[in-house]
Structure 1
Amino acid sequence: MIKGRASSKRVLLILDDVDSGEQLDALAGGRDWFGSGSVIIITTRDEGVLLAHDVKQDEIYKPQELNEDLSRELFMLHAFDGELPQGEYVELSNEFVGAAGGLPLTLEVIGSLLSKKDVQEWKDTLEKLKTIPRYEVQQRLKLSYDSLDDLEKNIFLDISCFFIGWGRERANYMWEDCRWCPSAAIRVLVQRSLVKIGEESQEFEMHDQIRDMGRAIVDEESSRKLQKKSRLWNNQDSWGLLQRK
């Protein structure tokens, strides 16, 4: 359908967060699907998806990591509300900036985690961070999740699995029906940069890597027994469980 309608037109098509070749096959099967002068922009964390779709290396743009100055500025914005660190925090901040490897999301989440924490907590977190390879971004982000209390963890997992794009008030009704008091937990999640709330829409927003971390935590609860998972966010899992009933 897309090929038939767009083959004679010049279009701008943006495909965000593509994670499988099937998605590209369905939405941008070939260059001949679109008219001359068309621009197709694809964002993905898996370069192999692009290469398998005959995208040339010189057509792939790889975002650069933040340099040291920008990394330090972003980290301090979240760890100290933009103020300059004092005393032992100066050297510790430099170590965290180096360990983060210029990745903005890591700098934001770890900086938010450390905000208003004492020096010993900074040192403990730094040691944990150094044991996790830089490429294991989800495991690094999970340091913030691991420090949450049980209610905060449950609220976070609910949002990552079900409530992204939901209005805060709508989700609150469901939590309150479970006898939960979500307001304080949500405030912590926002402060930790794990969840954002749209200023006008009041809808929950979440970075896709943080979302994927939350869903991976749920999936790890029981990789084989669906009925033991606390949340069935995947349609195939939900359908599979219903078929067993």
Structure 2
Amino acid sequence: MIEEVLQTKRTLIVLDDIVDHKQLVALLGTGKINAQSKIIITTRENTDTWFDHSYWTCQKYEMRLLNDDESQELLSPHAFGSKIPMAGFKELILQAVQYCDGNPLALEVLGSSLFKNNTISHRKSQLNLLEKDIDSRPHGVLVRSYMSLPYNSEKELFLHIACFFIGKDMDYVMSSFCFTKQKAHDAHMLQDMGKNIVCQVSIKSPAKRSRVWLNIDTYKILSKGKGSKMVEDLALDMQVLLEENIAFKVIENN
């Protein structure tokens, strides 16, 4: 039915966060599409082999990061509460913009952290801390924001959401943790940061981490009895494993 509509109707479709070509086939099929239709796809994956068939004409556009002027325009309201930086902070603003490399989320997070204390000494100390993480920017900006959370319970909640609840219905997540709805910004980047924090405990062994979110890792831990006292939460969907034949491969290897 969808393929028929795509062939006969003039449509504008936006598919956000596509991670696999199979998703496109499931949503759009592989048939012809009305020449006047437009389909916008956002993804972080390499799409070089996604559009090899002759039916679709595709144009790739890589999102650009903000330039210095745009970065200052975004950072200033979060750092100073206005579009214009406070007097005496021009040098610090330029330094902050360099750290964030034009990433909007990092600019908002860093700006908010600078806003907590409006003294030049505080803001200089915040930026000096980032100098040590120069190779990991803007990731380092987000990590320091996570570390600044005042309560361990907030840190634990963030890691739990990043590992298990990204992509879930917001009402479901709220009901699970009983907190109020807030606007989410760039969930992927926050998710990656949260998972990276968990993985740093043990790079090679998921069984030594506090959270295990990959089905195959959980399956191996449970089937081989290799859990540890570090593990607090596991995610396991056997249906996904069966569909991908991963479980059978693991059994055969054992």
Q: TM-score, normalised by structure 2?
A: 0.66
Q: In the alignment, which residue of structure 2 is the partner of 1:50?
A: 47
Aligned to 2:192: 212
Root-mean-square deviation over aligned CA pairs: 3.6
Instruction: Give the SS at the match of 1:62.
Output: coil
Query: How far has the Cα of 1:53 moved from its partner?
Result: 1.8
| Contact persistence 2:99–2:138 (CA under 8 A) | no
Q: 1:51-88: per-residue Cα shift (whole Å, max 9, x none)?
A: 22247998122334334333222211111222754454
Q: Percent identity?
A: 34
Aligned residue pairs total: 214
Which aligned runs of 4 or more in structure 1 are off by greater than 6 angstroms? 55-58
Within 1, Cα distance between the matches of 2:48 and 2:201? 34
Q: Residues 148 and 61 from structure 1, CA distance in 2 versus in 1: closer, same or farther, beyond 3 angstroms?
A: same
Gaps of 5+ in 1: 174-182, 184-196
User: Partner letter of residue 52 of structure 1?
Assistant: T
Letter paired with 2:193? M
CA distance in 1, matches of 2:116, 2:85: 11
Deviation of the 1:110 alpha carbon:
0.9
Equivalent residues of 1:2, 1:33 under 8 A apart: no
Gaps of 5+ in 2: 226-254
CA contact (8 A) 2:13 2:40 kept: yes
Q: Which residue of 1 aligns with 2:101?
A: 101
Q: Residues 58, 36 of structure 1: CA spacing in aligned structure 2 closer, same or farther, 3 A cutoff?
A: closer
| Larger Cα-atom Rg | 2
CA distance in 2, matches of 1:87, 1:163: 42
Alignment of 1:66-215 (within 5 A): 66-82=66-82, 84-86=84-86, 88-117=88-117, 118-130=119-131, 131-133=133-135, 137-149=138-150, 150-163=152-165, 165-166=170-171, 170-172=175-177, 202=181, 205-208=184-187, 209-215=189-195
Deviation at 1:154, TM superposition (A): 1.2
Letter in 2 for 1:111: G
- Cα shift at 1:112: 1.2
In the alignment, which residue of structure 1 is the partner of 2:234? Answer: none
Q: Which has the higher contact order (CA 8 A, sep 6+)?
A: 1
Q: Report how far residue 206 of structure 1 moved.
A: 4.7
- AA partner of residue 60 (structure 1): K
Higher-helix-fraction structure? 1
What is the CA-CA distance between 1:153 and the residue it aligns to? 1.6
Q: Determine if contact 2:80/2:86 at 8 Å carries over to the other structure.
A: no
